[in-house]
Chains A and B, each alone.
Chain A
Amino acid sequence: MTDIAHRLRPGAAVREVHLEQLNQDICSLDGFRRALVVFRLRGAVVGQAWFRVEDGRIPLLQIRPHLPEVAWPAWQQLAARDPAASADRLPPASVVVCTRDRTADLANCLPGLSKLAAEGHDVIVVDNCPSDDGTARLMAGHPTIRYLHEPRPGLDVARNRGLRAATGEIVAFTDDDAQVDAGWLPALLRNFDDPLVAVVTGITLPLELETEAQMWFEQTHGFGRGFVRRSFDACNMNILATGVVGAGANVAIRRSAVDEIGPFDEALDGGTLARSGGDQEFFYRTLARGYRIVYEPGALVWHRHRREWDALRRTVYGYGVGVFAWWTRALLKEGELTLLKKAPGWFWHHHVRNLARSLLRRPGCVPLDLAWAEFRGALAGPGSYLRARRSLQRQARARAANHEDAVDRKDVPDFGQQPGPAADRQPLALGQGSETL
């Protein structure tokens, strides 16, 4: 972006190609060596392919061989658009975006959200423990979107706040650094006609791949899960490997099922010591309670990965921590004893092997510092979860004591929260992480 035009950029271009209009080379890719081309047909994303860019263009002849791959997804997505299924038969939905000190990112996210609000959906932005009033001021300019201030830090705290405040039967979540595509919400919603479907995840594609960090993120931890719809339940998958199901940046949840599944664990994910894993753990419990999760590639969200290498390393470290943190929870709270075998197995086959490959500079290996970060994260995972939980319990106790004091003084308990509906002030266990992402 800041690069001078005649120097090649480190990343890759991301281009959408509408197959209906594909009748010439893809041009104006000057400065890029590679490009990720996303194929669309009648609005739906049906496939993607990597190309080498020569002289700022991708010749049409190179694209053609990739088209057979998109036939099946193309058919599936066109067939899913049942003309009989009109919008008014879809269940009412709320959209929740949790944000924390990323006002600039959120501003990019807002046009899509405003459009959803204008269509009559209940759209909520949960401002999680903000350090300034930037987000509040930004949201003041968008009266159609509900703004909630959540003082307790933690992504899962904010998600639970959103779940409680939502009015729709279905609650769809996306991230503040993501932008929803047209047709995102209806595509998620139409999968809820099966009463056993409690969660629907969508496809998340990179908004840009400008930097080395974004490229590596996309290649090692990208959110893409393919272009074919899949249905998961405890019968057809290992429910402790929920990575295949999707991610919290693009997910819809049936609110009535949350009573059975339980809310997000507030000792997990961003803003806590566990750093991530809140969404994966929620998916695990969804499957363990006998529900289904559908992966719906018709519901598209564009995600802007972290641009800086430091941020990438922190994120990868966080993923390493998160997996082992939520596995620790599953072992201790849900009695998943098989993890005693599976978790070390995964550590050995994934983390140790990746690290060894990076040390030996094997072809296709990840950069050493990323492998090392994830390795360290995995080792820190169980301890981090236990500490996060202890800190949560301490906070809860402190709050309970505070509450009693307040009651003694016949005061309204004020935890620094903004006045909100009573339901939002339940003294839930809080997650107060000393580190943040």
Chain B
Amino acid sequence: MNPSPSASPTLSIIVPTHNRSALVRRVLEALSRQSYPATAFEVLVVADACRDETEDTVAAYAAQAPYRLHLLSHRAGSAAATRNLGAAHARGRVLLFLDDDVVPQPGLVQAHVEAQRQNRVVLGYSRPILPAQPGWWQLDARRWWEDAFRAMGKPGHRFTYRDFFSGNVSMASALFHQVGGFDTSFTGRLEDYELGMRLLKTGARLHFVPQAIGHHHESTDLGLWLRRVRQDGAADVRIGQRYPELRVRLFAHVTSPCDQKRGRLRKVAFGHPQRGDRMERLLLRQAALYERLRLRGRWRKLVSLLQDYNYCRGVAETIGDWPAFSAWLQEAPLPPAVAGDAPVVDLAALPAADALEEALKHATDQGLRLALGGYEVLTIPPQPGAEPLRDEHLHLALRELAEQQFVPALAMHLVRSTSPGGLLWQSSSSTLT
């Protein structure tokens, strides 16, 4: 059944997995139902320390797959190393990373291939699918994901390294190898954010394609997620070590003032990171009880506390106690403010296109001031970890500024000054739209 191995595929799909043979099988079947011709891509399943029947399942499916299917396996215990292994054996011009719990819908591969014509990093839409009896945490997670994707889909969204998800993403193989692939020192989490940071530093363009739909079957629950939050704390320290310019902003939510309860939990997290397990178990049980009793407000507060605690604990386990953490933060530069000599763009006297482009070039590092007839209306500080500032970002920022501040004020002014006669209303309404 397999097509001849001589022809070089345009696209290599890399599916890393660990002991989830049923999920892998579902992904492989979905990949054989793509609108894009199956002969034009290859699939590499990379099994990491699998002790279940994953390898047999893939080997068995290879005989009937309409695409070329390769199985690689190793024992690394690391998603970063597993994806890198897949990329090292891939022969396609484009790499598509697909998680084993993201079931591609029929148009996914086609959408990635089409978007790749512009040679960008293409982020697909991993639509969260809930289990049959979703818990409250799963409902919240779905809202978080959907809102994140909706924000990315807004024209003019300024991508940051934290928009880079590795579950449904494609990029040119050359680009992946040029930046050096995933960093294998990130064994647990956030290796995708770190790669996103390096990609943005090389000037890669991130692009969200809502047509590249995969169904993300979320099976995480509150307890498992809190483990991950702890790993995130540790991984954020590593990101902060590598990129000091991100450090202060990255941990702003830990250093910001908080209420007593939260403060006490942070003390436990930083002071006795090894001793909080019992307390956490109790709090988790309390959260489960709140959910049983449908006490939504209390549950939400408690989960927020637990999240904070676990994040701090992950930080503490990596960097040490609170004084060590503060000292480490103080080594880092403060988040940049708008420079004194930052370019100024006056909307009432728009510069020529090339002058605007020049201003934007400097604005990414120095920040930008937007003025209207000499009055400053908006400042955009330099944002480390975000893509270079482009005019479409300005459009979105101005549109939001207009919606939130200008036009309501304008409407208020017009209504107040309306003389009882139709004329002003007509002129005002045509100004508004």
Using Cβ atoms and an 8 Å threshold, which residues of chain B touch A290? 130, 134, 139-140, 142-143
A67 pairs with B293, CB closer than 8 A: no
A337 CA / B289 CA spacing, docked (Å): 12
B420 pairs with A20, CB closer than 8 A: no
Given known contacts A19-B425, A74-B415, A78-B432, is B139 in contact with A234 (CB within 8 Å)? yes
In the complex, whether B407 has a CB less than 8 A from a CB of chain A is yes
Using Cβ atoms and an 8 Å threshold, which residues of chain B touch A181? none
B390-425 contacts to A, CB under 8 A, are 403, 407-408, 410-412, 414-416, 418, 420-422, 425
In the complex, whether B178 has a CB less than 8 A from a CB of chain A is no
| Closest chain B residue to A290, Cβ basis | B139
B142 pairs with A74, CB closer than 8 A: no
In the complex, whether A412 has a CB less than 8 A from a CB of chain B is no
| Closest chain A residue to B416, Cβ basis | A68
Which one of B108-116, B294-302, B344-352 is at the interface? B294-302
B143 pairs with A23, CB closer than 8 A: no
In the complex, whether B146 has a CB less than 8 A from a CB of chain A is yes
B150 pairs with A194, CB closer than 8 A: yes
B403 pairs with A41, CB closer than 8 A: no
Q: Chain B, 119-144, contact with A by CB distance < 8 Å: what is the 0/1 string? A: 00000000100100010000110110
A23 pairs with B146, CB closer than 8 A: no
Min CB gap A47→B, angstroms: 10
In the complex, whether B202 has a CB less than 8 A from a CB of chain A is no
B432 pairs with A75, CB closer than 8 A: yes
Using Cβ atoms and an 8 Å threshold, which residues of chain A touch B294? 334-338
A56-82 contacts to B, CB under 8 A, are 60, 64, 67-68, 70-72, 74-75, 78-79, 81
A71 pairs with B422, CB closer than 8 A: no
Query: Which of A19, A41, A260, A335 touches B292 (beta carbons < 8 Å)?
Result: A335
Q: Chain B, 283-296, contact with A by CB distance < 8 Å: what is the 0/1 string? A: 00000000011111
A337 pairs with B422, CB closer than 8 A: no
In the complex, whether A269 has a CB less than 8 A from a CB of chain B is no
A41 CA / B140 CA spacing, docked (Å): 38
| Closest chain B residue to A67, Cβ basis | B415
Given known contacts A234-B296, A335-B292, is B127 in contact with A195 (CB within 8 Å)? yes
Using Cβ atoms and an 8 Å threshold, which residues of chain A touch B433? 78, 81, 83
A-side interface residues, number (CB < 8 Å):
36
Query: Which of B146, B293, B429 touches A20 (beta carbons < 8 Å)?
Result: B429
In the complex, whether A87 has a CB less than 8 A from a CB of chain B is no
A24 CA / B421 CA spacing, docked (Å): 8
B416 pairs with A67, CB closer than 8 A: yes
A23 pairs with B420, CB closer than 8 A: yes
B369-402 contacts to A, CB under 8 A, are none
A71 pairs with B300, CB closer than 8 A: no
| Closest chain A residue to B295, Cβ basis | A338
A206 CA / B418 CA spacing, docked (Å): 28
B416 pairs with A337, CB closer than 8 A: no
| Closest chain B residue to A196, Cβ basis | B146
In the complex, whether A42 has a CB less than 8 A from a CB of chain B is yes
B296 pairs with A239, CB closer than 8 A: yes
In the complex, whether A21 has a CB less than 8 A from a CB of chain B is yes
In the complex, whether A22 has a CB less than 8 A from a CB of chain B is yes
Min CB gap A157→B, angstroms: 26
Using Cβ atoms and an 8 Å threshold, which residues of chain B touch A239? 296
A41 pairs with B429, CB closer than 8 A: yes
Given known contacts A20-B426, A335-B294, is B143 in contact with A68 (CB within 8 Å)? no
Min CB gap A66→B, angstroms: 10
A426 CA / B410 CA spacing, docked (Å): 56
B139 pairs with A289, CB closer than 8 A: yes
Given known contacts A20-B429, A71-B412, is B300 in contact with A235 (CB within 8 Å)? yes
B293 pairs with A337, CB closer than 8 A: yes
A70 CA / B428 CA spacing, docked (Å): 14
Min CB gap B142→A, angstroms: 6
Given known contacts A20-B425, A72-B408, is B420 in contact with A60 (CB within 8 Å)? yes
Query: Which of B415, B425, B432 touches A68 (beta carbons < 8 Å)?
Result: B415
Min CB gap A67→B, angstroms: 5
A335 CA / B291 CA spacing, docked (Å): 10
| Closest chain B residue to A66, Cβ basis | B415
Q: Chain A, 284-299, contact with B by CB distance < 8 Å: what is the 0/1 string? A: 0000011000000000
Given known contacts A64-B420, A335-B294, A337-B294, is B146 in contact with A71 (CB within 8 Å)? no
Given known contacts A78-B429, A337-B293, is B422 in contact with A72 (CB within 8 Å)? no
Using Cβ atoms and an 8 Å threshold, which residues of chain A touch B410? 75
Query: Which of B130, B150, B293, B416 touches A338 (beta carbons < 8 Å)?
Result: B293
Using Cβ atoms and an 8 Å threshold, which residues of chain A touch B418? 64, 67
Using Cβ atoms and an 8 Å threshold, which residues of chain B touch A374? none
A23 CA / B420 CA spacing, docked (Å): 5
In the complex, whether A127 has a CB less than 8 A from a CB of chain B is no
| Closest chain B residue to A340, Cβ basis | B293
A21 pairs with B422, CB closer than 8 A: yes
Min CB gap A48→B, angstroms: 15
Using Cβ atoms and an 8 Å threshold, which residues of chain A touch B408? 71-72, 75
Using Cβ atoms and an 8 Å threshold, which residues of chain B touch A71? 408, 411-412, 414-416
Min CB gap A56→B, angstroms: 19
In the complex, whether A281 has a CB less than 8 A from a CB of chain B is no
B150 pairs with A70, CB closer than 8 A: no
A334 CA / B293 CA spacing, docked (Å): 10
A79 pairs with B415, CB closer than 8 A: no
Q: Chain B, 139-162, contact with A by CB distance < 8 Å: what is the 0/1 string? A: 110110011001000000000000
A238 CA / B416 CA spacing, docked (Å): 36
A222-248 contacts to B, CB under 8 A, are 233-235, 239
A20 CA / B147 CA spacing, docked (Å): 38
B415 pairs with A23, CB closer than 8 A: no
Min CB gap B125→A, angstroms: 10
Using Cβ atoms and an 8 Å threshold, which residues of chain A touch B416? 67-68, 71
A72 pairs with B143, CB closer than 8 A: no
A41 pairs with B425, CB closer than 8 A: yes
Min CB gap B218→A, angstroms: 12
| Closest chain A residue to B413, Cβ basis | A71
Q: List 16 A-B contacts (CB under 8 A).
A: A22-B422, A42-B429, A71-B412, A72-B411, A74-B411, A74-B415, A75-B408, A78-B432, A79-B432, A195-B150, A196-B143, A233-B143, A290-B134, A335-B292, A338-B293, A338-B295
Given contacts A68-B416, A195-B150, A233-B143, 4 further A-B contacts (CB under 8 A): A22-B422, A75-B432, A81-B433, A335-B294
Chain A residues proximal to chain B, CB less than 8 Å: 19-24, 41-42, 60, 64, 67-68, 70-72, 74-75, 78-79, 81, 83, 194-196, 233-235, 239, 260, 289-290, 334-338
Top 7 A-B pairs, shortest CB-CB distance: A290-B139, A75-B411, A71-B412, A71-B411, A71-B415, A67-B415, A78-B432
